[in-house]
Amino acid sequence: MSAPRTLNTAPLTALYNADALRRIERHYAPDSTPRLMERAGATGAAKAMQLVGGRHGRILVLCGPGNNGGDGFVLARQLKQTGFDVTVVHDCDEHRGAEDAVMAWASWRAVGGLTLPRVPDTGYALVVDALYGIGLTRPIEGVHATWIDAVNEMDCPVLAIDVPSGLNADTGAVMGRAIRASHTATMIAMKPGLFTLDGPDHCGEVSLHDLGLDCAAVTPPSGWQVGRELFAHLLRPRARNSHKGTHGNAMLVGGARGMAGAALLAGRAALKVGAGRVFVGMLDHAALPLDPEQPELMIRTPAEVLAGDLATCVAIGPGLGQSPAALDLMRDAVRTPATLVLDADALNLLAQHGDLEQALTRREAATLLTPHPMEAARLLRSSTAKIQQDRIVSARELARRFRASVVLKGCGSVIALPDGRWFINTTGNPGMASAGMGDVLTGLIAGLLAQGWPADLALLGGVHLHGLAGDRLVAQGKGPNGLTAGEVIESARAAFNALIAGADSRDPRHSTR
């Protein structure tokens, strides 16, 4: 039987999509004093003052047609009343927002605030973007697109209110044009689009301002950010009285002719995250009988690896190829009673052979899929562009269809579970968009599975650790340019041991599991 899916999401940062945020707003807005928009504007003004510091330079505020624009008018008024030289840009004769936004505009005019219909010259200490928030419904065109272009050319900090305008708050997709902010002050709750796809390139530093609202009391989170709190209870020091059998066996299958390196990278990663023994079933008959740089790896034929009954987990795919022999191995692998990780060409074979899909959905043990967007597109008979349009929907659809836990890799990897829950991982950097990184991720997941981590936590933990390892290297000046997968393995070992060393032994969850 598959392991029960016991994940404690309570300590994680919650993510709310636009529909859920509307429910929260509807719940609190009628009785809130001061009005939510006044609170949002005041919070934005405080953030703006923090960014300009003591400098009383000029501040430009772009205000859009809806309530995001309303936040902007409140912020502009408060900054002006504090003594700042504030210019508002707004081009709507009639405010289309709710009553609060109309009032905010009127209050701005009441304090003598001027409104210009175009972005004036540069020379600002700060630009505040309050054009569009979670109400963006279509690509930005026309005059607002030219405003965004002008701001993106300016050489000053840009503070986005709630969401950088043009970024879809649910998906992280740029709709036509988007502000490239240096800071984003997001209101009420974190939004998924800030952390995946184009979000991280447009948000800069994100701060959360909950405006005193308790979101969870109204509606459950839509998803969560992956955090180490999720697997803190598994970060335990090893028992002194242990042996290699205690730390499990990882079985890896792949490494066809010319692609042996992929299987070796995965094997080394499994070993260096702590698997007791790692067997690599190498398709290439001509491959060396051992890995000279890592002689601890046990190189076998794929059939020997799959026939073994010692497996805690089987990971198949790195360098597998799509030959008839590879297909046969896939048919054997899906029958394994162990937790199964499918990566790379294993996913491509799965996309092409319906019998594999059927066998997969009948498995009792857990299955983990690690597609990048192109592999995901093949699995869902879609295009990469459509997959990326809504990465959360795509990952959830994969999880549902294949009854598997899935990581859709890329900027802000999305992890979806078959029960519908989803997570975004925020560790990692663009240096990790290079050859062999996926093989290392597969190896890390296999290594954690070998050590007895429950399947979903091995997936979430492996993805988080992989990114953390890459981030440590960048902090050491070894990336992002030229970061190599081999270095990430070494760094993951250090990061994993540091996590374990830092784990709080008094954590109450330690005593309950």
Can you say which residues are annotated as belonging to the binding site? 67-71, 129, 133-139, 162, 165, 262, 319, 372, 409-413, 438-439
Closer residue to ligand NPW, CB minimum distance, 23 or 96: 96
**Integer Rg of the chain from CA:** 26
Strands 298-300 and 313-316: unpaired
129 binds K ion (CB under 5 A): yes
Piece of the chain touching ligand NPW by CB under 6 A; list 126-134, 195-203, 276-284, 320-328: 126-134
102 binds ligand NPW (CB under 6 A): no
129 binding partner (options ligand NPW, K ion, none; Cβ < 5 to 8 Å by kind): K ion
Q: Is the dihedral of CA 504, 505, 511, 512 positive or negative?
A: positive
390 binds K ion (CB under 5 A): no
DSSP 3-state assignment of 378? helix
Q: Report the nearest approach of K ion to the CB of residue 15 (Å).
A: 18
Structure tokens at 171: 């998906």
Calpha distance 273→295 (Å, rounded): 16
- 369 φ/ψ angles, rounded to the nearest 5 degrees: -115, 140
Structure tokens at 312: 């805690």
416 binds ligand NPW (CB under 6 A): no
Near K ion by CB under 5 A: residue from 67, 165, 222, 348:
165
Which residue, among 16, 126, 114, has the nearest Cα to 60 in the 3D structure? 126
User: How far is C-alpha 406 from the chain's CA centre?
Assistant: 13
Q: Report the nearest approach of ligand NPW to the CB of residue 105 (Å).
A: 12
Contacts of 33 (CB under 8 A, 6+ apart): none
Q: Report the nearest approach of ligand NPW to the CB of residue 113 (Å).
A: 18
- 96 φ/ψ angles, rounded to the nearest 5 degrees: -90, -5
37 binds ligand NPW (CB under 6 A): yes
13 binds ligand NPW (CB under 6 A): no
Residue 28 CA neighbour count, 13 Å, CB half? 23
161-200 residues in contact with ligand NPW (CB under 6 A) are 161-162, 187
Near ligand NPW by CB under 6 A: residue from 61, 76, 97, 232:
97
Q: Given its phi and psi angles, is residue 239 left (phi above 0), alpha (psi -120 to 50 degrees) or beta?
A: beta
Q: Report the nearest approach of ligand NPW to the CB of residue 249 (Å).
A: 51
Near ligand NPW by CB under 6 A: residue from 12, 14, 20, 25:
25
Q: What are residue 252's DSSP bridge partners?
A: 280, 315
Q: Given its phi and psi angles, is residue 403 left (phi above 0), alpha (psi -120 to 50 degrees) or beta?
A: left
Contacts of 466 (CB under 8 A, 6+ apart): 427, 428, 432, 437, 440, 441, 444, 488, 492
Q: Report the nearest approach of ligand NPW to the CB of residue 194 (Å).
A: 12
Residue 86 CA neighbour count, 13 Å, CB half? 30
Q: Per-residue string for binding with ligand NPW, 127-146, x by CB under 6 A?
A: -----xxxxxxxxx------
71 binds ligand NPW (CB under 6 A): yes
Please count the residues of this chain forming the interface with ligand NPW, following the rule CB under 6 A.
Answer: 26
Piece of the chain touching K ion by CB under 5 A; list 53-61, 129-137, 226-234, 444-452: 129-137
40 binds ligand NPW (CB under 6 A): yes
Q: Per-residue string for binding with K ion, 345-384, x by CB under 5 A?
A: ----------------------------------------
66 binds ligand NPW (CB under 6 A): yes
- Exposure b/e, 157-168, CB count within 10 A at least 16 = b: bbbbbbbbbbbb
71 binding partner (options K ion, ligand NPW, none; Cβ < 5 to 8 Å by kind): ligand NPW
Closer residue to ligand NPW, CB minimum distance, 173 or 260: 173
Which parts of this chain interact with K ion (CB under 5 A)? 129, 160-161, 165
Which parts of this chain interact with ligand NPW (CB under 6 A)? 25, 29, 36-37, 40, 64-69, 71, 96-97, 132-140, 161-162, 187
